[in-house]
């Protein structure tokens, strides 16, 4: 194993350079203006896979979908095949001017690499590629077969993944699936993610008038759509901040609770802000639904005039507890919004993305091997965690490949600010993640022979 550790160490400088090159590509598939950039990103990943010795490399897409990279390394006789998954598309920046350094100019500060996608999930892409290159430098080569699957639309909810899996099922079949798209509780504490919340979202529109009306001449007897929308959105929570939609799944957990002070600091909560809901923090984050209003279409304050607005829209997102059927949750959300229309307003709900929650029982030889190798790489015991976020495709993978063990790992930590301003990757943790995955593949190969 010392040779493997040395190979990983020698690979990290190039892995960082290649990561920085990927971060420079604004692969925001959700933004049509960046569709060509996303294709350019896929081509860059494909070229890296060829450089890592892949026997075959393809760029695939379902009808209307983003480009995904699929590459293969054949399995030695008797060894399992492992799928290594990550995604090369990224979130919008949230406003380039809000970043300390430009989001697509990778910049190191205090041991962290800043840039959109530096953690989510181009670090996952480069974790896999660095591992593959490290093994290529060793006499024995890869101890397992590998299918590298780098998706291009995860940040858009993976809408064409089902079609892609159906069309290319044989190319993607594997005994073990390693998904590098999650997070660790600290930079030196590795985690295996065992549960994720699901997701449904929608756009809700409130209409009150055919056209704007003078707020002085008509205001009082007649309301405005923006105020009505605010009243409607306020019904989504009760006075304690709990989700007020009936019929949703709420679970309990006996997992050790999180430290509230650490949680507040990691989330950058302002002093005096109350935490919403009831139950332990673990339950509220991992096992209960949550609702957020992500955006509102209305005039800017600087553009406001003295009129009653005829219509207003909001984007609403709801996270779902494990065990929740997304279709049922979407229907409940829609019925709640239409059933609480204030002042006779017309309320229209347009459903958006949906994602299944996911929960697994990490029992068996693959999970035991992961615990051993990740603990060895990080120098601390691996822990099992839930994640409040959603990874839409995991349930689809589990259904498509029911015999495969699914491992959800990652290269983020609480300071990575995934999806936020100043997203970053801790470079020391990046090295731990590469070593952990390399050690795991070595052990899976030994066990399979």
Which CATH number do you get for residue 221? 3.30.70.360
Alpha-carbon distance of 185 to 191, in angstroms, equals 7
Average pLDDT value over all residues in the chain: 94
pLDDT at 144 over 90: yes
pLDDT band for position 333 (cuts 50, 70, 90): very high
Question: Is residue 275 in a domain?
Answer: no
Confidence (pLDDT) at 448: 59
Confidence (pLDDT) at 397: 84
Residues 237 and 347 in one domain: yes
pLDDT band for position 267 (cuts 50, 70, 90): confident
pLDDT at 344 over 80: yes
Alpha-carbon distance of 271 to 304, in angstroms, equals 31
pLDDT at 258 over 60: yes
Residues 408 and 347 in one domain: no
Question: Is residue 140 in a domain?
Answer: yes
pLDDT at 449 over 70: no
Determine what percent of the chain is predicted with pLDDT higher than 90: 86
Q: Which residues are catalytic?
A: 89, 154
Angstrom CA distances, 65 to 141, 341, 359, 378, stand at 34, 36, 27, 37
Strand partners, 316: 202, 293
**Do the beta carbons of residue 26 and residue 116 sit within 8 Å?**
yes
Instruction: Select from 355, 370, 401 the last residue of a domain.
Output: 355
Alpha-carbon distance of 160 to 167, in angstroms, equals 11
List alpha helices for 247-364, DSSP H. Answer: 260-267, 281-282, 326-339
Residue 427: HSE in the Cβ half-sphere, 13 Å Cα cutoff: 19
Question: Is residue 282 in a domain?
Answer: no
**Do the beta carbons of residue 196 and residue 394 sit within 8 Å?**
yes
User: Which domain does 294 fall in, by range?
Assistant: 198-251+288-355
Question: Is residue 267 in a domain?
Answer: no
Question: Is residue 400 in a domain?
Answer: yes
Confidence (pLDDT) at 392: 77
Question: Is residue 226 in a domain?
Answer: yes
121: preceding bond cis by omega (within 30 degrees):
yes
Residues 225 and 370 in one domain: no
Residues 178 and 229 in one domain: no
Residues 209 and 123 in one domain: no
pLDDT at 157 over 90: no
Residues 300 and 187 in one domain: no
- Residues 250-268, mean pLDDT to the nearest whole number: 90
Alpha-carbon distance of 119 to 154, in angstroms, equals 14
What is this structure's pTM? 0.87
Residues 178 and 33 in one domain: yes
Question: Is residue 283 in a domain?
Answer: no
In this predicted model, what pLDDT tens digit does every residue of 57-101 receive, in sequence order? 999 999 999 999 999 999 999 999 999 999 999 999 999 999 999
**Do the beta carbons of residue 27 and residue 90 sit within 8 Å?**
yes
Confidence (pLDDT) at 389: 84
Residue 403 CA to its chain's centroid (Å) = 24
CA dihedral in degrees (160, 162, 165, 168; nearest 10)? -60
Helix 427-448 vs helix 2-23: angle between axes, to the nearest 10 degrees?
Answer: 130
Residues 345 and 228 in one domain: yes
Residues 363 and 442 in one domain: yes
Confidence (pLDDT) at 121: 94
CATH number at residue 147: 3.40.630.10
The contacts of residue 422 (CB under 8 Å, 6+ apart) are 99, 100, 114
Angstrom CA distances, 404 to 33, 359, 401, stand at 37, 14, 6
Alpha-carbon distance of 174 to 405, in angstroms, equals 9
The structural domain count of the chain equals 2
Residues 7 and 140 in one domain: yes
In this predicted model, what pLDDT tens digit does every residue of 295-328 receive, in sequence order? 999 999 999 999 999 999 999 999 999 999 999 9
Question: Is residue 256 in a domain?
Answer: no
Residues 342 and 389 in one domain: no
Instruction: Select from 355, 379, 397 the last residue of a domain.
Output: 355
Instruction: Select from 305, 340, 355 the last residue of a domain.
Output: 355
In this predicted model, what pLDDT tens digit does every residue of 392-432 receive, in sequence order? 778 888 888 888 999 999 899 999 999 999 999 999 999 99
Among 415, 295, 287, CA closest to 358: 287
Residues 414 and 300 in one domain: no
In this predicted model, what pLDDT tens digit does every residue of 179-227 receive, in sequence order? 999 999 999 999 999 999 999 999 999 999 999 999 999 999 999 999 9
Going by the DSSP 8-state scheme, the letter that residue 36 receives in this structure is H
- Residues 35-40, mean pLDDT to the nearest whole number: 97
């Amino acid at each position: 194993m010392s040779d493997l550790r040395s190979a990983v160490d020698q690979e990290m400088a190039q892995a960082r350079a290649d990561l920085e090159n990927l971060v420079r590509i604004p692969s925001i598939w959700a933004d049509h203006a960046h569709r060509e950039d996303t294709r350019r990103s896929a081509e860059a990943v494909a070229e890296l896979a060829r450089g890592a010795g892949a026997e075959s490399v393809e760029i695939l897409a379902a009808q209307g979908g983003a480009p995904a990279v699929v590459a293969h390394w054949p399995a030695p006789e008797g060894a399992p095949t492992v799928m290594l998954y990550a995604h090369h598309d990224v979130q919008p920046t949230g406003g380039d001017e809000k970043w300390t350094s430009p989001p697509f100019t990778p910049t190191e500060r205090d041991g962290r690499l800043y840039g959109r996608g530096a953690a989510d999930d181009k670090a996952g892409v480069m974790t896999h590629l660095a591992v593959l290159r490290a093994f290529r430098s060793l006499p024995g080569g890869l101890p397992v077969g590998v299918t590298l699957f780098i998706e291009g639309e995860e940040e858009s909810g993976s809408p064409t993944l089902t079609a892609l899996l159906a069309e290319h099922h044989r190319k993607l079949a594997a005994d073990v699936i390693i998904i590098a798209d999650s997070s660790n509780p600290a930079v030196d504490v590795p985690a295996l993610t065992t549960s994720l919340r699901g997701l449904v979202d929608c756009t809700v529109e409130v209409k009150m008038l055919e056209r704007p009306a003078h707020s002085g001449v008509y205001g009082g007897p007649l309301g405005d759509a923006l105020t009505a929308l605010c009243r409607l959105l306020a019904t989504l929570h009760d006075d304690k901040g709990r989700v007020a939609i009936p019929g949703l799944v709420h679970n309990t957990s006996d997992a050790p609770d999180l430290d509230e002070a650490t949680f507040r600091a990691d989330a950058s909560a302002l002093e005096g802000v109350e935490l919403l809901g009831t139950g332990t923090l673990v339950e509220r984050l991992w096992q209960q639904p949550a609702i957020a209003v992500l955006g509102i279409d209305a005039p800017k304050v600087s553009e406001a005039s003295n009129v009653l607005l005829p219509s207003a829209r909001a984007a609403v997102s709801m996270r779902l507890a494990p065990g929740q059927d997304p279709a049922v949750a979407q229907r409940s959300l829609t019925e709640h919004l239409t059933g609480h229309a204030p002042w006779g307003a017309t309320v229209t709900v347009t459903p958006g993305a949906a994602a299944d929650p996911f929960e697994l029982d990490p029992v068996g030889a693959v999970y035991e091997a992961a615990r051993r190798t990740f603990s060895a790489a990080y120098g601390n015991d691996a822990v099992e965690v839930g994640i409040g976020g959603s990874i839409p495709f995991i349930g689809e993978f589990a259904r498509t490949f029911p015999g495969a063990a699914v491992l959800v790992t990652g290269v983020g930590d609480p300071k990575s600010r995934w999806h936020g301003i100043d997203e970053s990757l801790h470079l020391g943790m990046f090295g731990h993640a590469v070593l952990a995955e390399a050690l795991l593949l070595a052990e899976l190969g030994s066990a399979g022979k």
